[in-house]
Structure 1
């Protein structure tokens, strides 16, 4: 009851905030200066250059600035992910092919975020950990609000900003009046306010300063939060044994029959293919390669569903493991057949980016099947297989690093020159390759050499030297080689580019 017997006091309704403040850890005192320093370095190192040394150095600065927060959760897994991430990102200063560098940077960023998050005990943890830094960008304004308030309160930044704003308005008003009153004064104003060439990049530099400052804050926020590994649905389904026994047995028999045919073809060779299929060996190889790769991906899905969702007793578990193990083993033979087919095809037509990438994918799939077999054996022996998701991610990152070391564009150019020959070259395709292909293309006779290299030079910006932040090993070596053997002008390059294709 209120005073005097009136109605009870009802507090006024206060609506909840539109964007409620999330639960966040206490930001460290060094974070704002570190974010400002990382932003300044990115604003200096990234503009006005191609992807190269500058981007690699920025990634090193980000990791170094966030290191005090990362030390608290350092484990062998996080170290392995972090080292692999820096290996992939550092290849941006070594390789020039845009498609490869973009893939390496995306994979390196994902591995770096996974290392910062410390997660990865399960597949959901791996996925969430890979996107953890991006997900942390949302709470960053609240995370930065506390140290920014302290900074502005301690150093009285707001009064200074207000003073600068009033000064700018007064100078603008009186300056315009004086300029309109006197032509000589107006000429001096024009000279002082003329935009220099370097000022054109100021908006980009401001954007990069803010972007990488916020990015460092997001990395620190992820590192300070507890490790969060989402728990997936643990429910497994018990079904009749025949529901999975009959299909898996039938699929194994089908795979065994296919493998038997493949073994016969591998030993029978060219004559057997020509007699039964009416195809050349290269046509036979091209016809089925991609289908076999798709088959192996489907098998991974079958194994994941059967091992993750089926609830079986001890005797059935051994039977299911045996069927899945045989299926994985047969699929590895199918992958070997697919790789053999592609080798036959590349022996006839040379490598391309797609062929080389899918060849590397076959090796990667083979490694995955080997890991799945090891994990299955560990589970049968009563040991845990929680290491499998992290190991697959780490093997994938290492595979990408090895793939970049193989220098794909150089391999493509080399095999195209050696196998296709001068008369059947696809000059338009070769002209789109990265700077690392220049040593192989330099061996072409004129005028093909200059016509193809002219396109490579144009596509990769090799005519002019690069600033320090755009330094790249492949482009540097290509420029040195082209300085020794300059590209000549040929008016008939249009006819030269009309090469053969497959």
Structure 2
């Protein structure tokens, strides 16, 4: 190194850190390399006299509001060892301190008092024992309102739309009685609140801020202490002492009361009527809410930016690198859409002829794959837009055409998924899950429309906020249309067309569905609403919601029925389930027989010797009387052109001796087998036992055997019907008991979903009808 390089001069301000750092460190080391400036060795005190002229005060008295100056205080160039770190380490990382520095000034003390009041109110009223309602809605609105007030008027315009959307999500708890939609809205509101208080500009900042704002948790407590004025210090200190005392007494007193019944009786005699465990849990909830309110208030006051200092950049792809994969993907999507158009116009017959599936199976088998394709297409579009070349005008037009075309074709894929779900509704009815999935598909369509607009403009600064807002508004729209009411309305309308209605499922819907259930006839309406308490009491104020109150008012005139006039309540309504009574003595369905004129005349009768009713049923020709239309549609057409079922005469067997001299019933059995396309097979079996106790034992033994073979066994879900469904791979087993007879239907190498259950249910019910008539 040359001599001029060793001479510190204040004029060197090139930003490399050589001059300022060296000027500050060299007087402290008091050493100079022998090869540097040998002519100045005699003048040693001179550097020490010049040291005060350097900008030393900036080193020892930095502003409290500024982040630690790394370049001036932390890093220095030592003449022998090179760069070294000097001085105390910073309390916070540079980026973190910079993000939160705007909240150092504190906030008015009333914010802390309002936060405490909101937390206590939420702990007491958010989750009422009678249900959720106004209490949860008011608590949620306070969680966004208090931080919004703490943030002041600055940036209020940019944060107010998000805050309004979050408040609307919380308001659903005061309007709807369906717990599942209230839970979805509450979770969405909790996730969107920090993003509404500190909106970010890019997707990276938005994703990072979702959980990175938790880094301000410790700083929020310090910020809350600084927010106190001197006049309020004593008041806050007293409140803190009393609060700590009460918390200690409640925590330890609650634990002692839970551990010892005598102590619990003593506490209950000294205190008002209250469950100590419930009080402890509510105080714990209030503590959590207080921490959340303080954190979000600190977030609103600091308005931190979680965006990277420099956006992630990459080398753009060439026009060829972008056009080849995206062009091929567009062609693949286009080919699929053309095939979907053929299915749309070809209908059920085309699906059965080409795919060997019914339309219901076709819809169920491809829906989730199409949904995954839509999500994956969004990811591909995002990556392609990031790597797309934009320098030349031709590059920009190629990007617009390829990405825009992929967005339009993806919209068509989403439309195909919606079409499949609608056909699934037509076959099996509407449920909450199916409606929710349908709503998510609609949101995906909205996202593709937004991305299409962004790809055409080649600008997407507004897209992160638009994505979040569209998702929240879609969820609010779902709550606005009353999802439980939509489910009930659709199934009741479908009952008018198809004659089938699942009353059991209508019972599980919330009070939001009561206005639609009122459209049923009196007996069925009473069956659906009888799960309510006879008095259906009005909820307290904090648990009140409009859905429950409105349903209670509508059902008031129909809910009180004398015990002697209680109707016989079937689990289903329809041609195959109309008399599936759940009030049967043995817990089995009372199924339709023939009409009175037909029932009065035995169908199998000779002039010389009467045939016993049991032998009339347990005979191989009973299999010929079954209606196999549903099984034919379920099996469909094979690739060889085989359609439906073909009787397996070898498995059409039956045997019954009839009653003996003492009038006791002996065992009887019936089997029916049918070949389907390919390796598919349908097998029906009926067995009669001497007593219903024996039948129950045989049913349990069959259930245990299926579990041992690895089947997934589930009960039929009826309080009175004894039976089960067993599913394993491509095998489906449906079995239930009637009196002392068991009815079983098994499908091998075929469908195992809702359609298989419906077919097996129809066939076994038909067998039970004939058994009740003939045996």
Q: TM-score by structure 2 length? A: 0.53
Q: 1:191 to 1:229 in 2, by over 3 A?
A: closer
Q: 1:352 to 1:124 in 2, by over 3 A?
A: same
* RMSD (CA atoms): 3.8
Deviations, residues 223-260 of structure 1 (Å, cap 9, x unaligned): 11134041275221344554443222221111111111
Q: 1:259 to 1:43 in 2, by over 3 A?
A: closer
Q: 1:346 aligns with which of 425, 429, 432?
A: 425
User: Is the 1:114–1:132 contact (alpha carbons within 8 Å) kept by the matching residues of 2?
Assistant: no
Using the TM superposition, give the Cα deviation of residue 25 of structure 1 relative to its aligned residue in structure 2, in angstroms: 1.9
Q: Which residue of 2 aligns with 1:111?
A: 192
Deviations, residues 354-391 of structure 1 (Å, cap 9, x unaligned): 22112212221111111111111112xxxx32011111
User: Is the 2:330–2:402 contact (alpha carbons within 8 Å) kept by the matching residues of 1?
Assistant: yes
Structure 2 residue 298 is matched with structure 1 residue 221: yes
Q: 1:367 aligns with which of 429, 436, 446?
A: 446
Deviations, residues 68-95 of structure 1 (Å, cap 9, x unaligned): 3233333544222111111111011111
Using the TM superposition, give the Cα deviation of residue 397 of structure 1 relative to its aligned residue in structure 2, in angstroms: 1.1
Tell me the distance in 2 between the aligned counterparts of 1:304 and 1:340: 26
Structure 2 residue 343 is matched with structure 1 residue 270: no
Structure whose residues are more often strand by fraction: 2
> Any gaps of 5 or more consecutive residues in structure 2?
1-86, 250-264, 569-581, 590-716, 722-733, 735-753, 756-775
Structure 2 residue 512 is matched with structure 1 residue 436: yes
TM alignment of 1:12-411, pairs within 5 A: 25-28=104-107, 29-46=109-126, 48-49=128-129, 50-117=131-198, 119-131=199-211, 134-147=214-227, 154-155=234-235, 157=237, 193-198=269-274, 200=276, 201-231=278-308, 233-239=311-317, 241-311=319-389, 313-314=391-392, 315-379=394-458, 384-411=459-486
Q: 1:473 to 1:323 in 2, by over 3 A?
A: same
Tell me the distance in 2 between the aligned counterparts of 1:126 and 1:191: 50
Q: How many residues align?
A: 460
Deviations, residues 439-484 of structure 1 (Å, cap 9, x unaligned): 33344457654444344x37xx993321100101111122223321
Tell me the distance in 1 between the aligned counterparts of 2:91 and 2:300: 27
Q: Which residue of 1 aligns with 2:529?
A: 453
User: The residue matched to 2:354 in structure 1 has which SS?
Assistant: helix
> Any gaps of 5 or more consecutive residues in structure 1?
1-13, 170-188
Tell me the distance in 1 between the aligned counterparts of 2:187 and 2:177: 15
User: Is the 2:223–2:298 contact (alpha carbons within 8 Å) kept by the matching residues of 1?
Assistant: yes
Q: TM-score by structure 1 length? A: 0.79
Tell me the distance in 1 between the aligned counterparts of 2:280 and 2:92: 29
User: The residue matched to 2:447 in structure 1 has which SS?
Assistant: helix
Using the TM superposition, give the Cα deviation of residue 222 of structure 1 relative to its aligned residue in structure 2, in angstroms: 0.6
Tell me the distance in 2 between the aligned counterparts of 1:428 and 1:309: 54
Higher relative contact order (CA 8 A, sep 6+): 1
Q: Which residue of 2 aligns with 1:174?
A: none
Tell me the distance in 2 between the aligned counterparts of 1:437 and 1:59: 25
Deviations, residues 372-426 of structure 1 (Å, cap 9, x unaligned): 11111112xxxx3201111111111111111111211111122223325797544
User: The residue matched to 1:73 in structure 2 has which SS?
Assistant: coil
Structure whose residues are more often helix by fraction: 1
User: Is the 2:319–2:389 contact (alpha carbons within 8 Å) kept by the matching residues of 1?
Assistant: no
Deviations, residues 194-220 of structure 1 (Å, cap 9, x unaligned): 332136443234334433333222222
Q: 2:549 aligns with which of 450, 468, 476?
A: 476
User: Is the 1:350–1:420 contact (alpha carbons within 8 Å) kept by the matching residues of 2?
Assistant: no
User: Is the 2:491–2:501 contact (alpha carbons within 8 Å) kept by the matching residues of 1?
Assistant: yes
Tell me the distance in 1 between the aligned counterparts of 2:405 and 2:179: 40
**Which of 467-476 and 19-28 deviates more?**
19-28
Tell me the distance in 2 between the aligned counterparts of 1:479 and 1:454: 13
Larger Cα-atom Rg? 2
User: Is the 2:144–2:193 contact (alpha carbons within 8 Å) kept by the matching residues of 1?
Assistant: no
**Which of 436-445 and 29-38 deviates more?**
436-445
Deviations, residues 324-350 of structure 1 (Å, cap 9, x unaligned): 211111111122222222222212322
User: The residue matched to 2:153 in structure 1 has which SS?
Assistant: helix
